[in-house]
Chain A
Amino acid sequence: MTEQAALISMQLMGKDYRVPSGLTIMAAIEYAGYKLVRGAGCRGGFCGACPTLYRRDDSHRIFTALACQTLVEDGMCLVQMPFVPLMTKPYELQDITPRPNTLLQHFPEIAGCVACNTCTRACPQGLQVMDYIQAALRGDTKRTAMLSFDCISCGICSSRCPADIKHYAVGLLARRIYGKFVTPAAPDLSARVAELEAGDYQGVLDELVGMSAAELRVRYEQRSFEAVADGGETHSATKRYNSPVDPVDFQDEIEIEK
């Protein structure tokens, strides 16, 4: 830091501290002298280890955040949350026959969703959590998979849910079912696997492994590039993407069969 940051006041786990503004909550906790063991993981917003609960002096609400992705604010009063215990019945994915009630069978508690939307408000990823639970209840695996995709399993939703739903586990099963049973298997992939299993590449790979570095350099410099081979088309098409253009509004309509 080349500039001296102004100090702000906040409460960490019940004690008052003054910390430089502009720090993330995680950095502020460490600045105050805590060595984190729990409550820190990837430190980049991908692992869900640092859920944090806080209040602000200008609101009656409870706010939730990831400590590594949120800046401290003057007057904040926060605690780090322990993890939310997860117990699920084991399943073998290949033994599942996906039906409209599969998710409900595995997670009967989703029927208790009172549509309070607390999970959505609590989600630090900004996901439409209640919407995907409601989609799961309707048997819409695709929508559940798509809306839950960016979930990092921090469990804040489950800690706040009055119906004790394990949202992140519901999303995970929906995505696995969608990935395995709904999406078509990649045709080129199975062809390539068959070639490999037939040993089609043994000979050429034996030859490459036996080459000297000098010989390899020549082969490397001579190799063709797809961009050139395909007539200048550098990038594969992303238009028919598996992921929605706007994950939030993904297929917001319920299709009514006529």
Chain B
Amino acid sequence: MNMELSDGYPESMRESIALVERTRPDRLGCTFPAMSLDERKILLTHFHPDYKADTKRPLLFGPSKGMPLNHELADLFEARPLIRSNLNLNHVDSDLDLLVIGGGGAGTVAAIWAIKEGLDPNRVMIATKLRHGDSNSTMAQGGIQAADRPQDSPVHHYLDVMGGGHFTNRPELVRALVEDAPLIIQWHERMGVMYDKDTQGHFVENPGGGTSRNRMHSARDYTGLEIMRVLRDEARNLGVPVVEFSPAIELLCDEQGRVAGAVLINLETKRYHIVRAKTTIITTGGLGRLHMQQYPTTNHYGATADGLVLAYRVGAELVDLDAVQYHPTGAAFPAQMAGLLITEKVRGLGAQPVNCVGEQFVFPLEPRDVEASAFIRECSERGMGIDTTHGISGVWLDSPMVDLIHGPGTIRSALPAMFRMYTRFGIDMTRDPILVYPTLHYQNGGIATDENGATRVPGLYAAGEVMGGVHGKNRLMGNSLLDFNVFGRRAGIAAANYAKATYVPARLSLAHVDAYETMLRDANIETTRTAPRILPDYRGKEALERYLDIPL
């Protein structure tokens, strides 16, 4: 690491930057053409990580038997529960109408709307693994889609979503997404979410990958943070109890197999906590911290797919989990930033991806899987990537174009998070391009639900990234912030009405844990692995070589 850096970059990369600067004037106002559907398909099959051989195996048991899953995810399903069915469930610590598992965007929205629908805040609880708001929602930067301008309509939005997902999306879910979108933005507006607006109140709306209209509403490049902190404030003002550092490690059922709460664990004391609830919503988010195919990730520390495992053990169905989203623009340099998200808004504002000689090679705003595949092709087969000193390569994202197109200062005002992050690591993205490579970003599929978040298991709902079907095999930018609002709200309302109509579960049971162990045995899976994973482990090798697992 002692190499000489010139304004953040080593000399070897500076040579390539000079070529990027040379081609920049000609590239302004001249964009590489977009691909046809057939061209997209060929590129994806050859270069997208989802199509790579030997990276997946089929799920061997349960309602979604046969679904091909990345090994890292299959490992979680082929793992033993953390508790046995003989755990003492006689003392109920919390007796609720609604338990929300996961304190990110979807969970918070669900709790708020369940209370608006009439539930007593004291009979609602959000249990979350880390702190309230520690989630991918907070990290979302670029924007949220909603077709609210006269030249746009829910029809255009619908087509864009379906095409982006290669027409594999569940139509009724996409309809709910695009139809509710303007209502969600209006709800946000009324709660005081500070979207970027002009002086008359019109939203500043930018394009995103795969969108045919400009409908990306943003709040600088802190869109998710701004939405999340307002939601969290709203939940606090409503008095929703939030239990932090207490992930669910197993769902509970009643004797009829309805979901009836969960077992939580205090991460620090390891004391378990029994929640009995008339209804439960899983909003545990995604899976980036499983590091599929060794990719780095944009996801937060707790994104370990816990909710998928919990839901599968009580019989919920899964959908589209074979498709994982790799965001085209993860930071590739410097090493300390590897995998961190560079928002698609940088491209939405006009920055072009270019190769080592400063040439464009792809339309900047293809759907994410297509764009990512083009980057991978450029760095592998074509050998036109830029090598770094830490063993990976990437392509340039020509960020200085943003200020050239929109005027000086645009990066600092519209992309302050990006500017700040690069500045911390010695790079000025207003003057120099930034190096990017695909990074593990989003769980396209998830738990199968209807348009109100109901799973096929009575009493169990799911919303947000953990739920699947709405994005098909590939999500477009700006539809995840929208997704957790639309389906968090719908699940909250539906769960509240379910809770009002149902009775308190009589006897709590973990019989499904035994049944799951039997399924594992019948599928000849012998393992010492356990799930849910809860947190990834990044401890140093040297330190672990001398680790003693002793009671203290």
Contact = CB atoms under 8 A, between A and B. Distances in A.
Interface string A225-248: 111011000111111111111110
Contacts of B349: 235, 238
A85 interface: no
A240 to B, nearest CB: 4
B212 A223 contact: yes
B193 interface: yes
Contacts of B390: 1-3
Contact of A241 (B158, B190, B204): B204
B389 A69 contact: no
A71 interface: yes
Contact of B198 (A34, A181, A242): A242
Given A21-B1, A223-B212, A235 B406 contact: yes
Contacts of A213: 167
Nearest to B303: A42
A76 to B, nearest CB: 15
Contacts of B139: 42, 44, 46-47
Contacts of B551: none
A152 interface: yes
A44 B298 contact: yes
A23 B190 contact: no
Contact of A22 (B268, B336, B412): B336
Interface string B205-232: 1110000111000011010111001100
Contact of B153 (A44, A201, A229, A242): A201
Given A44-B298, A184-B201, A235-B207, A31 B154 contact: no
Contact of A49 (B2, B131, B239, B409): B131
Contacts of A6: 1-2
A245 B412 contact: yes
A208 B177 CA distance: 14
A35 B229 contact: no
Which of A24, A44, A70, A216 has the largest number of chain B CB atoms within 10 A? A44
B91 interface: no
Nearest to A93: B192
A30 B547 CA distance: 13
A154 to B, nearest CB: 11
Contact of A240 (B198, B237, B543, B547): B198
A203 B84 CA distance: 52
Given A201-B153, A245-B412, A37 B268 contact: yes
A162 interface: no
Contact of A149 (B213, B220, B267): B220
A83 B245 CA distance: 13
Contacts of B219: 149
A41 B2 contact: no
Given A46-B417, A189-B185, A236 B191 contact: no
Which of the listed residues B130, B192, B417 has the most CB atoms from chain A within 10 Å of its own CB?
Answer: B192
A99 interface: no
A236 B178 CA distance: 21
Q: How large is the interface on B (under 10, 10 to 19, 20 to 34, 35 or more residues)?
A: 35 or more
A237 B214 CA distance: 11
Nearest to A233: B214
B25 interface: no
Contacts of B398: none
B155 A172 contact: no
A101 B405 CA distance: 41
A226 B391 CA distance: 41
Given A30-B538, A213-B167, A220-B162, A201 B179 contact: yes
Nearest to B336: A24
Interface in B161-191: 162-163, 167, 171-172, 175, 178-179, 182-183, 185-186, 189-191
Interface of B: 1-3, 31, 36-37, 130-131, 133-134, 138-139, 146-156, 158-160, 162-163, 167, 171-172, 175, 178-179, 182-183, 185-186, 189-207, 212-214, 219-220, 222, 224-226, 229-230, 233-234, 236-239, 245, 267-268, 298, 300-301, 335-336, 340-341, 348-350, 389-391, 405-407, 409-410, 412-414, 416-417, 420-421, 424-425, 535, 537-540, 542-544, 547
Given A205-B179, A242-B194, 5 more contacts: A35-B535, A41-B134, A70-B424, A189-B182, A235-B405
25 contacts: A22-B1, A22-B335, A27-B538, A31-B540, A33-B540, A36-B301, A40-B301, A45-B421, A47-B138, A71-B336, A83-B131, A92-B237, A149-B226, A190-B186, A193-B148, A196-B154, A205-B175, A205-B178, A208-B159, A210-B171, A226-B207, A226-B213, A234-B350, A239-B406, A243-B220
